[in-house]
Chain A
Amino acid sequence: MTLDRESAVTSLTAIELAERRTSQAILYGIASSFLIMWGGVTAAGYLLGQAWPRHASTVWAVLMVMGFAVTIAMTRRNRGDLTGRQMTLGWRLVLAQFALIGFGVSVVTTLGPFTGRQLDAFWPLVFMLGYVLAGIWVGRFFVLSGVVIAVLTIAGFWWSGPWFPLWMAVVNGGGLLLGGFWLRSQGASL
């Protein structure tokens, strides 16, 4: 077959676009499961905190350990469906979450003590910073989600009165669930 340079460039451009769109669909499909899982964990944590404020710290500790155990299990389960490069990105995102937790624990232990309400606002803000930073590389959906949830968290902190945990269950938990289901509709299930 005979091809000129211009046709070759056009073909390679089409290939790059198809590859980029496929990578994004794969990422969205996988990220949706994590967002839905963390949305459920977060909503449960805030709802239980609203109902039994005195046990909130224990509830959160148990839920976070469960959430991270499931995150690691889900990342390992995806191994057969992803290329080496995609798996590397997945593990980097998991490690980034641990780095954010390390940062959060450092702040809480050095600048604290904080009230329960302050902590209820602080941790989502730390994780939403992670969404914004990750989104700069992997897609603007994550930047938008991070900014919207962070702004609503701050609004709730100042204006939701005694219903702040309930507000956060809807805004943070519900926001992640909504985002996760939207991503699932856009992504590729492998």
Chain B
Amino acid sequence: MNDGDPIIHQATRLKIMASLSKLAPDASIDFTRLKSILETTDGNLGTHLDALDKAGYIAIDKMFEGRKPRTRVKATSAGRRAFAGHVAYLREIIDSGGSS
């Protein structure tokens, strides 16, 4: 059986990866919009984005638009693969009707 990914499995990180995986491979999303989609706080989102960034699952791009700081986030190909693997793991557990 496929092994789950302990980094992705945490509830907020799981939702972050689910959201980023819906974007096209080169597309990124604004931090503020991601926060609103996931209904979380700046601090919580920032902490979990850092953890995913350290794992190489996402790329964070910080920039300035005029004087306004903007942060954009996207999933890396390693992150997309890890997320797809974790979803497959969850489905296997459900299909087998037991635990893993």
Residues of A within 8 A of B90 (CB): 3, 8, 11-12, 15
Pick the interface stretch among A22-30, A50-58, A60-68, A95-103: A22-30
**CB of B59 closer than 8 Å to a CB of A:** no
Chain B, interface size: which category? 20 to 34
Do B3 and A1 have beta carbons less than 8 Å apart? yes
List B residues 1-26 near A (Cβ within 8 Å): 3-4, 6, 9, 11, 14-16, 18-19, 21-24, 26
Closest to A186 in B: B36
- The CA-CA distance from A188 to B37 in the complex, in Å, is 9
Q: Is A80 part of the contact surface with B, judged by Cβ < 8 Å?
A: yes
Residue A5 lies at the interface, judged by CB distance under 8 Å to chain B: yes
Give complex CA distance A117, B62 in Å.
53
Distance, CA A83 to CA B23, complexed state (A): 6
Main secondary structure, interface of B, reads helix
* B residues in contact with A1, CB < 8 Å: 3-4, 6, 9
Known: A15-B15, A26-B23, A82-B27. 11 other contacts (CB 8 A): A4-B99, A5-B93, A8-B90, A8-B93, A12-B90, A14-B18, A15-B87, A18-B37, A25-B36, A86-B24, A188-B29
Enumerate 20 A-B pairs (CB-CB under 8 Å) in ascending A order: A2-B100, A5-B98, A5-B99, A11-B14, A12-B91, A12-B94, A17-B15, A18-B15, A18-B38, A19-B22, A21-B37, A21-B38, A25-B33, A25-B37, A82-B24, A82-B27, A86-B24, A189-B33, A190-B23, A190-B24
> Which residues of A are in contact with B by a Cβ distance under 8 Å?
1-5, 8-9, 11-12, 14-19, 21-23, 25-26, 80-83, 86, 187-190
